[in-house]
Amino acid sequence: MKNNVKRIVLWALRLTAAAIMLQTLYYKFSAHPQSVELFTTLHMEPWGRVGVGILELTASMLLFIPSKNWLGASLAIGLMLGAIFFHLTILGTAGSNGLLFGLAIITLVSSSLLLYLQRNQVPFHFLQRKVNVF
């Protein structure tokens, strides 16, 4: 990928993931009835709602620190895998017309692509090795 195109793609991925996570913080931190109901269903109210909000805020901030992009993307991936798991097992995907589930999928894909494209920044070696399948 050319440098300018790669830079634009990386920024688009960061902005997509961060914007989705940041826009949901209002609902989590203001104890919006829909957010309270969701986390009550999961038996995680209020500590889960506030804790997930803090983690999403942290992930969003890390996405914009150049040396910590990989950490923000990794945290976002973990959070979205958890959200998707709970939507598929307990909450269902039809609530809010599937909006929350869809946003979790978009954030997961954006964060995963960001982590993959910046895998050379990860201080661990497992993402940097090329795997020969055949």
What residues have CB less than 8 Å from 63, skipping those under 6 apart?
14, 17, 18, 69, 72, 73, 76, 114
pTM of the model: 0.87
Q: Report if residue 24 sits inside a domain.
A: no
Q: What is the pLDDT of residue 127?
A: 52
Q: Classify residue 60 by burial, with Cβ atoms within 10 Å: 0-12, 13-18, 19+.
A: buried
Q: What is the pLDDT of residue 93?
A: 80
Determine the average pLDDT of the residues in 128-132.
58
Q: Report if residue 39 sits inside a domain.
A: no
Q: Report if residue 68 sits inside a domain.
A: yes
Q: Report if residue 82 sits inside a domain.
A: yes
Closest residue by Cα to residue 73 from 38, 109, 36:
109
Angle formed at CA 33 by CA 27 and CA 34, multiple of 5 degrees? 70
Contact 54, 46 (CB under 8 A): no
Give the range among 51-60, 96-105, 117-126 with minimum mean pLDDT. 117-126
State pLDDT tens for residues 57-112.
999 999 999 889 999 999 999 999 999 999 999 988 877 778 999 999 999 999 99
- Indicate the residue type of 50: V
Confidence of residue 2 (pLDDT cuts 50, 70, 90): confident
Q: What is the pLDDT of residue 92?
A: 85
More confident residue, 24 or 124: 24
- Residue 131 pLDDT > 70, yes or no? no
Q: Report if residue 31 sits inside a domain.
A: no
Domain count along the chain: 1
Q: Report if residue 32 sits inside a domain.
A: no
Structural domain harbouring 99 = 3-16+51-121
Q: Report if residue 21 sits inside a domain.
A: no
Q: Report if residue 114 sits inside a domain.
A: yes
Q: What is the pLDDT of residue 97?
A: 78
